[in-house]
């Protein structure tokens, strides 16, 4: 199985939107490689013909009537906002992503 | 005088029904116990002075959303967050008059086996405060054992109800996947998360389960479940008890734990059960690796919502929006959520998906099939819940893999969506040992029956020795 290099770790952290500090990178690089070595055990089994389980119950899709119902007020929806501007969530201007 | 250390929820209900105590008196007795013992044990992240209702008090794990009551999931990123709606289980509790005492400590986002990953500091085991109460729901389990709540709700992804109940010496149920709504619960791994009760005995556990179970239109993964039958019988005649070899003979199981569980198995025989051996050859060796791919993968997706925009923490270091996201998440999450987000993101990323996440989902099928095969011959499986008794605070924090192994025996059945009940079965080194009963999906009534009969026969005293 692949090792996680510093470069790959930085790439994954970027995908996960985590700005890791230098001390965290050093610690996590070691820990993540240990964890991946342990979980890579799943590769030992030949499961070519085994179907995947995504959900433990055999359930069918559930449809709901498309009817308007009471929902959160604008005030409640914004109550926990770190920053607001009138009836909007306020965020800093966009950076490159 | 109300003895909160011994009072069960059923006992409390009797006192209220007969008007021997009032709701406010009962609530005050628990607040007094909390004031007395919680400074040492740190079970609660938030205590309610008055939360409405006049019935039996209850404690809720802090991943359970409660309108108007702070809900942090043990994370800095949710510090100060006050839900504007109730989770369905909290609403059910209110409808039954249950009165919320407070929100209990948990590993951050329910990720951990000791509560040491809580951003607000660990809880302590009431049997020995130098030891962990287990996790992630250590706050709920310790609160029930220390008489700081008659019962509580927890949540279980890979053992977070059963393992703390084992380490604290009380009864905890992880219900069948889909029987209890997760609407309004802080999500960790959605194909595994279940809410369930923690109590002093099996009857209380069954009663609380009957209050929270049922289909919920707000959670489309829920299904109707069989009506709860309160357990009364004291024998196990006709019950087929299976002993999965790999979960009872694993080298990680401490000798004292193994002895206590063997004694309980012998008791099953004496109570009339037919006891036989069975095998789950791949569920133990591959359960842990399977879980530690699937749970982090789902966590990385669920935790993407914490972005500093709509609620929760926002970093002051926010030049532009991207920097705001990345700094908010780095500063708001602790180490364990970061590890899981990174493992999960990696396991789901292009080029690695089939080898990790896809393969783990196939292993999950293998584990489910092995259990289904065992249940062709047996009604219930018996194993230790935790390989060890409560361990020392700090003992496993430096090594994530050692901490992960705490859930070795609880994880396999969780992967298959099966219910599991922890029942205390004795002491080892003066600390509680828990027995895990596993049944097929929707077999809660069988678990209650077996658990209740064993509980009566074992006669375990749930009050920690040092508090008697």
Q: Which domain holds residue B170?
A: 9-247+249-279+370-467
Q: What is the pTM of this model?
A: 0.97
Interface check for B452 against chain A (CB to CB < 8 A): the answer is no
pLDDT at A94: 83
One pLDDT digit (tens) per residue for chain B, 468 residues: 899 999 999 999 999 999 999 999 999 999 999 999 999 999 999 999 877 778 999 999 999 999 999 999 999 999 999 999 999 999 999 999 999 999 999 999 999 999 999 999 999 999 999 999 999 999 999 999 999 999 999 999 999 999 999 999 999 999 999 999 999 999 999 999 999 999 999 999 999 999 999 999 999 999 999 999 999 999 999 999 999 999 999 999 999 999 999 999 999 999 999 999 999 999 999 999 999 999 999 999 999 999 999 999 999 988 899 999 999 999 999 999 999 999 999 999 989 999 999 999 999 999 999 999 999 999 999 999 999 999 999 999 999 999 999 999 999 999 999 999 999 999 999 999 999 999 999 999 999 999 999 999 999 999 999 999
Please spell the DSSP secondary structure of B51-93, one letter per residue.
Answer: -S-SS-EEEEETTB-BTTB---TT-GGGTT---SS--HHHHHH
Residue among B130, B133, B105, B129 at smallest CA distance from B119:
B105
In a domain, B159, yes or no: yes
Residues of chain A with pLDDT under 70: 1-2, 95-97
Q: Is A89 helix (H, G, I), strand (E, B) or coil?
A: strand
Interface check for B207 against chain A (CB to CB < 8 A): the answer is no
Q: Are B141 and B149 in contact (CB under 8 A)?
A: no
Q: Per-domain residue ranges for chain A?
A: 1-44
**Residues of A in Cβ contact (< 8 Å) with B364:** 52-53
Please spell the DSSP secondary structure of B140-199, one letter per residue.
Answer: HHHHHHTTS-SEEEEEESSSTTHHHHHHHTSEEEEPPTTSB--TTBPPS-TTT-EEEEEE
User: What spatial distance separates the first Cα and last Cα of chain A, rounded to whole Å?
Assistant: 29
CATH class, domain A1-44, is mainly alpha
Residue B151's DSSP bridge partners are B199
Residue among B341, B13, B52, B37 at smallest CA distance from B188:
B341
| A59 closest CB neighbour out of B223, B355, B416 | B223
Are A41 and B286 a contacting pair at CB < 8 A? yes
| A17 closest CB neighbour out of B177, B191, B326 | B326
Interface check for B251 against chain A (CB to CB < 8 A): the answer is no
What is the number of domains present in chain B?
1
pLDDT at B212: 98
Q: Are B284 and B370 in contact (CB under 8 A)?
A: no
In a domain, B111, yes or no: yes
For the beta carbon of residue B335, count every other beta carbon within 10 angstroms. 16
For chain B, helix, strand, coil in percent to 5 are: 40, 15, 45
Closest-approach residue (CA) in chain B for A96: B322
| A62 closest CB neighbour out of B220, B314, B320 | B220
Q: Is B42 helix (H, G, I), strand (E, B) or coil?
A: coil
| Residue in the structure block whose two tokens are 């029942």 | B423
Residue among B141, B115, B111 at smallest CA distance from B127:
B141
Task: Report the CATH number that the domain containing residue B190 is assigned in CATH.
Answer: 3.90.1300.10
In a domain, B352, yes or no: no
pLDDT at A96: 56
Q: Which residues of B are catalytic?
A: 61, 136, 160
**CB-side neighbour CA atoms (13 Å) of B227:** 1
């Amino acid at each position: 199985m692949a090792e996680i290099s510093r470069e790959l770790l930085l790439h994954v952290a970027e995908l996960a939107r985590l700005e890791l500090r230098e001390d965290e990178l050093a610690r996590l690089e070691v820990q993540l490689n240990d964890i991946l070595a342990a979980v890579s055990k799943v590769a030992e089994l030949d499961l070519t013909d085994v179907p995947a389980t995504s959900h433990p119950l055999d359930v069918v899709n559930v449809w709901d009537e498309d009817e308007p119902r009471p929902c959160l007020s604008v005030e409640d929806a914004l109550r926990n906002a770190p920053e607001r501007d009138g009836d909007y969530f306020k965020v800093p201007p966009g950076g490159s992503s | 005088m109300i003895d909160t250390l011994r009072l069960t929820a059923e006992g409390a209900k009797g006192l209220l029904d007969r008007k021997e105590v009032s709701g406010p008196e009962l609530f005050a007795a628990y607040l007094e116990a909390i004031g007395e013992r919680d400074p040492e044990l740190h079970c609660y992240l938030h205590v309610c002075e008055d939360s409405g209702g006049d019935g039996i008090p209850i404690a809720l794990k802090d991943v359970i959303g409660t309108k108007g009551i702070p809900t942090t999931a043990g994370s800095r990123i949710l510090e100060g967050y006050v839900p504007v709606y109730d989770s369905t289980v909290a609403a059910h509790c209110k409808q039954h008059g249950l009165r919320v005492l407070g929100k209990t400590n948990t590993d951050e986002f329910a990720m951990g086996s000791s509560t040491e990953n809580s951003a607000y500091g660990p809880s302590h085991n009431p049997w020995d405060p130098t030891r962990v109460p287990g996790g992630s729901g250590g706050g709920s389990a310790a609160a029930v054992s220390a008489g700081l709540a008659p019962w509580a709700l927890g949540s279980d992804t890979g053992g977070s109800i059963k393992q703390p109940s084992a380490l604290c010496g009380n009864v905890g149920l992880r219900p069948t996947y889909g029987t209890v709504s997760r609407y309004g619960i802080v999500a960790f791994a959605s194909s595994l998360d279940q809410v369930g009760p923690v109590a002093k005995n099996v009857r209380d556990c069954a009663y609380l389960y009957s209050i929270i179970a049922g289909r919920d239109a707000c959670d489309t993964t829920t299904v109707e479940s069989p009506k709860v039958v309160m357990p009364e019988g004291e024998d196990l005649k006709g019950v087929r008890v299976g002993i999965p070899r790999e979960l009872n003979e694993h080298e990680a199981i401490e000798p004292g734990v193994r002895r206590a569980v063997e004694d309980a198995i012998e008791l099953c025989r004496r109570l009339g059960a037919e006891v036989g051996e069975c095998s789950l050859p791949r569920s133990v060796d591959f359960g842990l690796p399977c879980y530690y791919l699937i749970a982090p993968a789902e966590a990385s997706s669920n935790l993407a919502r914490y972005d500093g925009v709509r609620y929760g923490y926002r970093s002051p270091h926010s030049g532009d929006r991207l920097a705001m996201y990345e700094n908010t998440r780095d500063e708001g999450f602790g180490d364990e959520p970061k590890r899981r987000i990174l493992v999960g993101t990696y396991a789901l990323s292009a080029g690695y998906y089939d080898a990790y996440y896809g393969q783990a989902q196939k292993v999950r099928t293998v584990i489910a099939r092995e259990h289904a095969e065992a249940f062709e011959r047996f009604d219930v499986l018996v194993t230790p819940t935790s390989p060890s008794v409560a361990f020392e605070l700090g003992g496993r924090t430096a090594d994530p893999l050692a901490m992960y192994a705490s859930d070795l025996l609880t994880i396999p059945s969780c992967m298959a969506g099966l219910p599991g009940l922890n029942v205390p079965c004795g002491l080892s080194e003066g600390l509680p040992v828990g027995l895990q009963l596993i049944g097929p999906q929707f077999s809660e009534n069988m678990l209650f029956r077996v658990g209740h009969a064993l509980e009566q026969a074992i006669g375990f005293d749930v009050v920690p020795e040092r508090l008697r």
